Amino acid sequence: MKKNIFTIPIIGILLMIFMSGLTWAGEVDVLINKLVEKGILSGQEATQLLLKTQNEKEREKAVVKEIAKEAAQEETKNSMVEIPKWVEKINLKGDLRFRYQNEDKDDDGAPSRDRWRVRARLGAVVDVTEHWEAGFGLATGGDDPRSTNETLDDTFESPDVRLDYAYLKYSPFKSVALFGGKFKNPLWKTKDLLWDGDIRTDGIAAKLNFKTGPAEIFFTPAYFILDEYKADRDDPYMLAFQGGTKLEFMDNMYFKVAATYYYFGSVRGNDFSEHGSGTNSVDSSGNLTQDYDSIAFDAEYGINLGGPVPCIALFGQYVSSDADEDETGYLAGLKFGHKKVKKFGQWQVKYNYRDIERDAWPDFLPDSDFYGGATDAKGNEIELVFGLAKYVTLGVDYYFNVEPLNDNTDREQDLLQADLVVKW
């Protein structure tokens, strides 16, 4: 009887311990064993209590896990910021270039020039709907359409940025794209004999691409605005019509060719010296004396080799205008290495020789690094690009033995550029 008197309150105390959720169930096991040794609890009673202890442990663990799970879900829900749908439609892109440039002209009475320059570009492309796209971007540089470079000078001056492009694109079908605004030149080109790579054309254009068997056929009509006057006179403009094809054959070869007709409206009799190079024929008032309606050809033939030299290609450009004389220009080149340099270890070497006569093309459009963007010049260019990391490249661009075609001074130009470029 005495045993039962002690047993009932002890069992009650133990049950209170179990129900309290205390985590020191191991100490309870020791206590029960001591009570059995003292004869206060029987073995059967101890076993029942231990089973209850074990059940309470498991139930306590399950409860703790459920509470922890609910708390984690609530924490995640509270910390998560919902991204607006319009943000998902925006793709940011850009690049930053750090350049060292050395330029020297013989017999010009000036020493060679060393410059450190930077270029920064940032833009966004917005997928408005399945068929509509909008793009806009900013870039360093002044108002020169052929340069986005900013020379490091003027005692830590903070330069301005400018609008680089702003356009709308409508694609009713996969093979058709219509552009309007200020946008990257839509015409296919193998090199920069006629167009500087920094120029963003203004106006409207269309790109039509069709695939038929091994051939890709493309057409690009465009209307480009060259200037706009407040006075009551015709505004200068350019019409371009390009058609071409790309053929792939023998599994590792390709050939791409395009012909482009350019029609210039209201160019003759106007002054384009603000962004020109001063080499076209002009009258006593500084106005152009030629129309510059032209036909141009671009072609590239390449072989995909694989191995240490993945690809090799020959490329060229030719232009002929309706000028009275000095009306032709051409470029011929060779490139080998990787088609594009995007990651570590990839590389490309490119060489070209060009010759462009005085009135073969308007002098406010060609590559500004080749003799200041002038026509009436000839010379060589060699480029080397090496991938330092993904989207990080080191490049060297060297223009050498560049000289005017019809200048008695025979001033030869050498231009060296070393570029470190990061893209995103």
Whether the per-residue pLDDT at 368 is higher than 90: the answer is yes
Whether the per-residue pLDDT at 18 is higher than 60: the answer is no
Residue-wise pLDDT for 63-73, tens only, equals 767 777 777 77
Structure tokens at 22: 């205390």
C-alpha torsion sign, points 354, 358, 364, 370:
positive
Is residue 217 located within the same domain as residue 336?
A: yes
Distances (CA, A) of 117 to 69, 120, 150: 56, 10, 5
In the chain the first and final C-alpha atoms are separated, in Å, by: 87
Domains identified in the chain, total number:
2
Among 30, 45, 79, identify where a domain stops. Answer: 79
Structure tokens at 90: 């925006």
Is residue 259 located within the same domain as residue 387?
A: yes
What's the angle, vertex CA 392, arms to CA 390 and CA 396, rounded to 5?
135
Q: Which domain holds residue 68?
A: 2-79
Is residue 61 located within the same domain as residue 166?
A: no
Q: Which of 98-102, 344-348, 403-407, 418-422 has the lowest mean pLDDT?
A: 403-407
Counting Cα atoms < 13 Å in the Cβ hemisphere of 366 gives: 31
Among 16, 50, 79, identify where a domain stops. Answer: 79
Are residues 360 and 277 in contact, defined by beta-carbon separation less than 8 angstroms?
no
The residue with greater pLDDT, 351 or 250, is: 351
Note the pLDDT of residue 56. 67
Phi and psi (nearest 5°) for 234?
Answer: -70, 135
Name the pLDDT band for 106 (thresholds 50, 70, 90).
Answer: confident
Is residue 101 located within the same domain as residue 42?
A: no
Is residue 150 located within the same domain as residue 233?
A: yes
Phi and psi (nearest 5°) for 61?
Answer: -60, -45
Residue-wise pLDDT for 308-338, tens only, equals 999 999 999 999 999 999 999 999 999 999 9
**pLDDT over 90 percentage in the chain:** 71
Note the pLDDT of residue 48. 73
Is residue 257 located within the same domain as residue 306?
A: yes
Residue-wise pLDDT for 37-57, tens only, equals 777 767 777 677 667 767 666
Q: Give the relative orientation of helices 43-79 and 2-19 as an angle to the nearest 10 degrees.
A: 10
Note the pLDDT of residue 60. 67
Structure tokens at 194: 């006629």
Name the pLDDT band for 24 (thresholds 50, 70, 90).
Answer: very low
Note the pLDDT of residue 408. 60
Give me the amino acid identity at 349.
V
What's the angle, vertex CA 315, arms to CA 345 and CA 342, rounded to 5?
20
Note the pLDDT of residue 23. 45
- Taking the C-alpha atoms of residue 279 and residue 288, their distance in angstroms, rounded to an integer, is 10
Is residue 176 located within the same domain as residue 213?
A: yes
The residue with greater pLDDT, 71 or 177, is: 177
Residue-wise pLDDT for 265-299, tens only, equals 999 999 999 999 999 999 999 999 999 999 999 99
Total residue length of the chain: 424
C-alpha torsion sign, points 269, 273, 278, 280:
negative
The residue with greater pLDDT, 411 or 41, is: 411
Note the pLDDT of residue 1. 47
Is residue 19 located within the same domain as residue 95?
A: no
Whether the per-residue pLDDT at 143 is higher than 60: the answer is yes
Is residue 96 located within the same domain as residue 25?
A: no
C-alpha torsion sign, points 396, 401, 405, 411:
positive
Which neighbouring-strand residues pair with 179?
Answer: 169, 205
- Taking the C-alpha atoms of residue 389 and residue 398, their distance in angstroms, rounded to an integer, is 23
Note the pLDDT of residue 144. 93
- Taking the C-alpha atoms of residue 125 and residue 50, their distance in angstroms, rounded to an integer, is 68
Is residue 271 located within the same domain as residue 308?
A: yes
DSSP one-letter code for 55: H
Q: Give the relative orientation of helices 43-79 and 25-37 as an angle to the nearest 10 degrees.
A: 170
Structure tokens at 179: 């552009």
Whether the per-residue pLDDT at 21 is higher than 50: the answer is no
- For residue 236, count CB atoms less than 10 angstroms from its CB and return exposed for 0-12, middle for 13-18, buried for 19 or more: buried
Note the pLDDT of residue 2. 46
Is residue 45 located within the same domain as residue 96?
A: no
Is residue 94 located within the same domain as residue 75?
A: no
Among 79, 99, 115, identify where a domain stops. Answer: 79
Helix (H, G, I), strand (E, B) or coil at 422: strand
Note the pLDDT of residue 22. 45
Note the pLDDT of residue 75. 67
C-alpha torsion sign, points 152, 153, 159, 165:
negative
**Cβ of 394: how many Cβ atoms within 10 Å?**
15
Taking all residues of the chain, what is their mean pLDDT, rounded to a whole number? 89
Whether the per-residue pLDDT at 231 is higher than 90: the answer is no
The CATH number assigned to the domain holding 224 equals 2.40.160.10
Whether the per-residue pLDDT at 83 is higher than 80: the answer is no
